[in-house]
Structures are given as structure tokens and as C-alpha cells.
Amino acid sequence: MGDRRGLAASSFIQASDELSDPRAREAFDAVSTAFCNGSQLLLPLPSERVGHGPFFLDLWNGAFETIPELELSDAVFDRLIDEGRAIEFEKYAEAFPREFSGWIAFQFTSRLSHAQIGRTERGIEIRCQPIVDKMVKEKRFRKLRAQLSILYKRDSLSCPGPFRMLMGTTFPDISQLAIAYAMSVALRGFSYAIAIGSYQHNSTPLYCHHWVRDRIVGSFEKNGFACNTAVLPLRQFPWGSILTKVFDPKRPLESRDVSKVMEVLGAVRQLSPEVAHSLQEGILSKRGGRRTNAPLTDPELLVTEWLQKSGVTLRSKRQVTSLIADFLMNLGGIALEKAAEQAESADPRSAVFLGLGGAGAISTGTFVEQVSTQQRSTFLRTLNYKARIRFFRKSFWKSMEDPGIRAALRSVNTEAF
């Protein structure tokens, strides 16, 4: 995984100055899938320093290898320019000007600029300046420069501290600096791909490159170099497609606090041997058993149980406003506590309090204890202000929101596997 990809994935949860990578969701999907399936990390770096890394590096807890000093030499840089890679980059950037400008603004935030830009020598961007200046005079990068100008006028784009000495001298304006920076990052993907493709290991590592390097890495593979850049390696369960919904920015199932996200991802990774065994044995490809009533199948139930073990709370489809939800949850907490007291004294009123507590818990989320083919939904017992519910399988997805479980299982049974 490249350092930019990990940064993009982390920005899905942890923005920088309220900005994130424009393709943060896709990056989080890919990187969380790799991590949760127990993959080992091989990190290419432009220098010796890892610097201030994204929280995904903290998840690997230092147990990863690095390939340092991968900055392009001047000779290789000149060769890439002669081969037309700068023109190739321009066409790609002009096809997605809003995304490229948004990514540059994200990279130029104060928190990231000192951590990421500070790892490379300033000469890296300076050697791109004559190429960029020439291309601008040829009326290239028009769409990208227009978008950068809009962001600059909105104060959404500013010159990072490490680059300020270059403004007005080496670079006439911030748009040329931004384009030179983006070009240097994209071209560096060439040396990353070579290093990873040449890495001596039992198998060719997977290069999860950042999207700004798509054209460079693509042309690298067309030239016959060995580098695995598939979206997912074979025999991995697509956890990312589920976890992007679990931690969706607009309507998350769980808290998006970094510590909670790390807790859930770490717990899912601990299950990776069991998940790998289920994939190998075809358990996740099986249809429901004889007593299973559609639409909930045995593989769906298994994935639901894995999420439960990892601390993910499923949510009822019932829509309530946040004010009502807070009221019901508070009411539910009091009622469940009271029910426990009444139950100890064998007071029949405990059932009333239990029902009130269950209503509060269902309105804001439920902790699924068991799915049955024989028994309809009933309250069983209470735990930490939440109701444990027994669901009848036939009505499970009618009552509960699906955080992408069925879509993930469909991909297991189609072309991805």
C-alpha cells in the first residue's frame, strides 16, 4: 500500500481541516478490506522517514516492512518526461479537474503539508516547474487551473509552509506550484511500482496505489513489468464494502471516533482465520439450510454474527428524529434498569419496564442475540441499557437495515472470486 492510499483511507474517518481525499470512500474500502483479511503491509517511501502516518499505520502497530529511498532519480525523471508521461498526466488531470483540485487542497492543509511534504526534498517539485510552465503556455491544464483558482478565492487552498519560499520566485502562482506537486507525486508511482514488482517474496505483492497514479501505474504494466495492481487479491472477503456503510459519514451505524473505528477493524482482523476458512470451505457460498426462511440465509447470519463480535450494532429500519431517539434511549435506559430491579424481587411490573426499555433500544439500534427459524421476535433479557432481540428469520431484513452484507456475499459468488 502506498502512503498516499493509507492517508486517503484514513481521511474517510479523520478529515484534515475539514477536507478529505475526494476518493476517500474507495480508498477506505480497499485498505480496510486488505487489513481485515489479515494482509501484511509493505510500505514504499520516497525517503527514509515514515513521518506522521495515517491511523491505518497505527492499526498495523509497526508490524510492516518499508521500501525506502524510492524518489525518482533525475535520469529516470527525464526518461519519463521524454516518454510523454507528463502529457499523459495532464490528460488524466483534465478529465477529473474537481477531484484533482480537491485532492491538492487536501494535501496542502497545514496538518498534512508538514507531515507529508516535509519528507521530500524541495528539488523534486522544482524540477517539474519548467515542464509545467511550458505546458501552461501551451494552454494545457486549463480546467484544473480554473478549479484551483476557485478554491484559492474561497480560501480553501493555500500555500503550505514548506513551499512558501518558492512562491514568486520559482513558481509565479499557486496553481503552477500545485500542478508541479501533483505531477511529482504521480510520477513517483513509477518507482513505487518498480520496487514493489521487484520485491523478493513468495508472491508478487499487491500494489494498492493512490488514484492520482492510475495512468502512470497503468502504463507501467503495459510495458511488461510485473506488478499486481488488482482491486482485491483472490480469496479475500470484501469487508470494505460493509465497513464503509458501518462508518458512513452521513448515517453511521457506529461512532466514527478513531478509537472506535480502530477497535472494530482490529476485532474484524482477529476473525480473519475463521473468515478465510469459511471462504475456502465454501461456507459463505452456501444457500440457507432446510429450516432457513428467506430472505436471511446462513451466510448472511454468519457475517451478521462476525459484525456483532466486532462491536457493530445493527440498526432498526424504523425512522425517528434525533430528539425522539434521544428521549426514547434515555427512557429505555431508565426502564431497563428499573426492570432489572423489579425482576430481582419477582415483581410482575418488570415486564412493563422491559417493554419500555426495549422500545427505546429498538428505536436507536438493537443488539442482535439470536436469529430463529421457529420463534417470532420476543424480548429475552437486558444488558447495558440495550435489548437483546430474537428475530424470526423471514422478517429479519424487513426489520433491520442491511449494512451491505448481501452485496458483499454476492461479490463472493461472482467474478471477484
Q: What is the torsional sign of CA 361, 364, 370, 376?
A: positive
> Residue ranges of the alpha helices (H) in 198-321?
214-222, 239-246, 258-270, 272-280, 298-309
pLDDT of amino acid 192 = 80
Q: Does an H or E element contain 102, and which?
A: helix 97-107
Residue reference for cell 509552509: 161
Count of other CB atoms within 10 angstroms of residue 186: 26
- Give the C-alpha separation, 363 to 315, whole Å: 8
Grid coordinates representing 342? 423489579
Whether the CB-CB separation of 95 and 1 falls below 8 Å is answered with no
pLDDT of amino acid 208 = 73
Grid coordinates representing 96? 477529473
Q: What is the DSSP track for 104-163?
A: HHHHTSHHHHHHHGGGS-THHHHTTHHHHHHHHHTT-SHHHHHHHHHHHHTT-----GGG
pLDDT of amino acid 145 = 97
pTM higher than 0.85 for the full model? no
pLDDT in tens, the chain (417 residues): 556 777 888 889 988 767 889 999 999 999 899 899 988 887 777 765 655 567 777 887 766 777 878 888 889 899 999 989 999 999 999 999 999 999 999 989 877 766 666 555 556 788 999 999 999 999 999 999 999 999 999 999 998 888 888 888 899 999 999 999 999 989 988 888 777 766 666 555 666 788 898 887 766 554 544 444 444 445 789 999 999 999 999 999 999 999 999 999 999 999 999 999 999 888 888 665 545 555 688 899 899 999 999 999 888 876 544 455 555 555 555 554 555 555 555 555 544 444 444 444 444 455 566 676 654 444 444 443 344 556 677 778 888 889 999 999 998 887 444
Q: Is there a cis peptide before residue 403, judged by omega within 30 degrees of 0?
A: no
Give the contacts of 19 (CB within 8 A, at least 6 positions apart): 11, 102, 105, 106, 109, 156
